Amino acid sequence: MPRYTPEQLEKRNASVWTKVQGILAPIQFVIFIAGLAVTLMYKTGTGIDDFVWVTIFVVLKTLIFLLIFITGAFFEKDVFDEYVFAPEFFWEDVGSTIAIVVHLSYFVLFYMGLDENILIWTALLAYLSYLVNAAQFLLRLIIEKRHARQNQRTVGTT
């Protein structure tokens, strides 16, 4: 079942938020890779010896994630007339919400003064939650592209 009706596909292609998401997603991925690397380097004691770098990257990652979530809500409003949890994006939105909660929990635990080790594991869990969420989006995109190719072949043979 395709995610978009022809009208929704037209709205998606015309929406400025589609372009914004296309720009922000790779930026978020680069920040994710850098943050994961910094966190693992700190945890293993190889090259990063100041915990502040772990927190800086969690802050950057969380800010870009929130920005993508907010602009994604505008995208969903443009295309599906709902800001969040449109049926077509329900599970992606659930995954994003869980990932945001995990990212934000880092700051709650940091504010509570918890041990660096707990904060590192929380940062790693936040990165994992992003990775699962991103994989969910990519899987859905691959399925959509495959479905579109099959439709083009079917239309071309009739």
Q: What pLDDT shows up at residue 5? A: 86
* Distance in angstroms (rounded) separating the CA atoms of residues 89 and 80: 9
Q: Is 99 helix (H, G, I), strand (E, B) or coil?
A: helix
Instruction: Give this prediction's pTM.
Output: 0.86
Where are the chain's structural domains? 6-157
Q: What pLDDT shows up at residue 156? A: 63
Q: Where are the alpha helices (DSSP H) in 45-115?
A: 52-80, 90-111
When computed from its CA atoms, the radius of gyration of the chain, rounded to whole angstroms, is 19
Q: What is the mean pLDDT of residues 64-84?
A: 96
Work out the pLDDT band at 150, boundaries 50, 70, 90: confident
Q: pLDDT: is 132 or 3 the higher one?
A: 132
Q: What pLDDT shows up at residue 141? A: 84
Q: Where are the alpha helices (DSSP H) in 81-89?
A: none
* Cα 65–Cα 69–Cα 73 angle in degrees, nearest 5: 170
Q: What is the mean pLDDT of residues 16-29?
A: 96
Work out the pLDDT band at 152, boundaries 50, 70, 90: confident
